[in-house]
Amino acid sequence: MGDLRNCRRCGKLFVYMGNPLCRQCIDQDEELFIKVREYIEKNPKCTTMEVANALDITVEKILQFLREGKLELGKENTNMLLDCERCGRPISTGRYCSECAAEMEKGFRGSVPPPTGRQSREKDRMYTAHRRKKY
């Protein structure tokens, strides 16, 4: 079972399961996300400010949905801009462009040492104490 924590948004006590928000706040975000998605689908040429004003939400919340990967900008959404946090190139969702993500992944993989050669079979096995005794 998880820890008891206070919700980051409303302050209500809840069982922490990896998300700093309580169930009610998560549900509110999900309803808001659905409204944003539907508005963008109906108005493909809209800007971030137009969505924010029409739905009475903050631009930061819309950008959060894009950065989390919940929303993805289509080719027709040229007025909404989201930039790679590393190089600044325009992207349609997430935090990094595909080139930066691949480069970072390569760097992460290079920092982990490769597994060493095969150890002796004696060390790979598990024995009980009585089998190891020499009679």
Calculate mean pLDDT across residues 1-8.
85
- Give the number of domains in the chain: 1
> pLDDT digit string (tens) for 57-111?
998 998 888 888 888 776 666 555 778 889 988 887 888 988 999 998 888 887 7
Q: How many CB atoms lie within 10 A of CB 7?
A: 18
Q: Is 9 exposed, middle or buried (0-12, 13-18, 19+ CB in 10 A)?
A: middle
**Does 46 reside within a domain?**
yes
Please say whether the beta carbons of 73 and 82 come within 8 A. Answer: yes
What 3-state DSSP class applies to 58?
Answer: coil
Query: 29-52 pLDDT, tens per residue?
Result: 999 999 999 998 898 888 888 899
> Which range marks the domain in which residue 95 is found?
4-109
Q: Is residue 121 part of a domain?
A: no
Kindly tell me if the per-residue pLDDT of 118 is higher than 60: no
